[in-house]
Each structure stands twice: as structure tokens, then as C-alpha cells.
Amino acid sequence: MKIQTPGLIIKETNIGENDKLLVILTKEHGIIRAFADGVRRMKSKNSAATSLLCYADFTLYHNKDTYKVSDSVPIELFFDLRYNLEELALAQYFCEMALKLTPEEFEPTEILRLLLNSLHFLTNKSKPVNIVKAVTELKLISLAGFMPNLTGCAVCGEDEAFRFSYSEGCLFCLECSVDVKDTTVVNPTLLAAMRHIIYSEFSKIYSFEIPENDAELLSLITERYVSVQSEYKFKTLDFYKSLIKGI
């Protein structure tokens, strides 16, 4: 059986001398693992669009449990990301998150759209890196089924609730948070940004501005929320953080 689908390569593994196993986040068929034979030869017609972060139109043959790449037409290769180690590391973290968090048998159209937008903003540098990171983390974990409830205090409903619980994924006001562990105080700017990311229309989720120190705090909160909710330690995040520490 043959399928044709746009997809973003979120993982690649070399096999033998000339082949690769690709993990492709496709628009309509979920996450597909596909063998790409011979693509590490220079003369292979598929060598251009079969690397990590390539977004291409793939023609895949499906036989029993195995997919093979028959053809790949590049759409966007995000080539410039490969020249900046920090941006490349962050892009790899986005890919690892998508791989880990995209539910099986799930149509990941919105997750793919999120990743493509974030890679686009990393490439053209038109948004602060911490904003791109925070939006990607909070929106991705929400799409994966762990959307926090940020409407008000989870106990009494009070609007002025500024303690965010990582494990509960909700807010508490000062009075109701006395016995709740693992909370962090989010200032009104951060809370407005978090609400914007999860409650706005998709086309607007990156469109907000906050001071750089708040963007940094926001990025730390969303990163921890992903880590607590997914119960997973992302190696690509550790690598990214080791690089930015050196700046």
C-alpha cells in the first residue's frame, strides 16, 4: 500500500553504511517509523530531505508492519538551524517532546503545525527564544492531554490565584494553597502569558510580549510543568541547558 503525506522528521538513526531509520511526524497518519534505504549515498534522490528537521512530502510504501520511503520532495529543510548549536539543540528538544508526548493513533495535525511554527521562529529569529520555547512546551503538553486549568483557584474559584501547582496543573489562591506542595508563585504577567498560550486561537499563541526576565521565568515554569506531567527527563533539554549556561 502506498501513502503520500507531508511530514517532519523528528528522529533519525543510521543503519549500516547507507541506510537510515526515520521517525516522521505526519500530518494525517500519526508518527510513522520508516526505513530510508540508500539515502546516505550522495547520489540518492532522497538524500536531501531525509535528515532530522526536514519537512517534506513523503511517498511511503507500507508492507505488513514496515514503512519504506519511496520518494521525498523537500518543502522546508530549516537549513539555517544547523549553523547554530543552541538553536539546533532546542529544535532537537522540540522533536524529542513531540516524539514522547504525541499519543499513539492520534492525528497530530496541530502538534505538527506547532513544531513547524516554532522551527520557523527559531530560524528567522523573529521571536525571543524563551517565548518560542515556552509556547512550544505549554501548547504541546496541552495538546497531548495535559492542559492546565488556569481559570481561577481550583478550590474556591477566586480569580486572584497566583500559585501554580505543577503536579495538579491548576491554580490556588493564597488561602487555599496552604497544604498544597510543589507550587510556584506566578506573577500577573506570567499568568496572563500562560492563559494566552493555552486559551488563544492557534494563530495567535506566539503573539504576546513580556519583558525578557519574565520570558525566562515563563520558560522555566513551562519546562518544569512538562517534566512533572510527562514524568520524563528529556536528554535534549539537558544538552540545550548545558549550552546556554556557557553563554
Is residue 168 at the binding interface for Zn ion, with CB under 5 A as the rule?
A: no
Q: What is the DSSP string of 58-84?
A: EEEEEETTEEEEEEEEEEE--GGGGG-
Residue from 173, 197, 215, 217 touching Zn ion (CB under 5 A): that is 173
Q: Does 156 bind Zn ion (CB under 5 A)?
A: yes
Q: How far is the CB of 153 from Zn ion (least distance, A)?
A: 3
Q: Does 155 bind Zn ion (CB under 5 A)?
A: yes
State the minimum distance, in angstroms, from the CB of residue 179 to Zn ion: 12
Does 220 bind Zn ion (CB under 5 A)? Our answer is no
User: Which residues, other chains included, contact 136 with Cβ-Cβ below 8 Å and sequence gap of 6+?
Assistant: 94, 97, 114, 115, 118
Binding range to Zn ion, per CB under 5 A, among 137-145, 156-164, 206-214, 224-232 = 156-164
Q: How far is the CB of 154 from Zn ion (least distance, A)?
A: 8
Nearer to Zn ion, 39 or 191 (CB): 191
Q: Count the Cβ atoms, other than its own, within 10 Å of residue 235.
A: 11
Cell of 191: 499568568
Long-range contact pairs involving 152-155 (C-beta distance under 8 Å, separation at least 24): none
Distances (CA, A) of 96 to 8, 33, 234, 238: 12, 14, 7, 12
- State the nearest-atom distance from the C-beta of 52 to Zn ion, in Å: 46
Q: Which of 31, 131, 153, 191 binds Zn ion (CB under 5 A)?
A: 153
174 near Zn ion (CB under 5 A) = no
With contact defined as beta carbons under 8 Å apart, do 152 and 171 qualify?
A: yes
Residue with cell 550522495: 42
Would you say 159 and 188 are in contact if contact means Cβ atoms under 8 Å apart? no
Piece of 20-28, 96-104, 166-174, 209-217 that binds Zn ion (CB under 5 A): 166-174
Shortest spacing between CB 168 and Zn ion, in angstroms: 13
Using only C-alpha atoms, the chain has a radius of gyration, in whole angstroms, of 20
Piece of the chain touching Zn ion by CB under 5 A; list 12-20, 90-98, 146-154, 186-194: 146-154
Q: Which of 3, 73, 147, 176 binds Zn ion (CB under 5 A)?
A: 176
Residues engaged in binding Zn ion (CB under 5 A)? 153, 155-156, 158, 173, 176
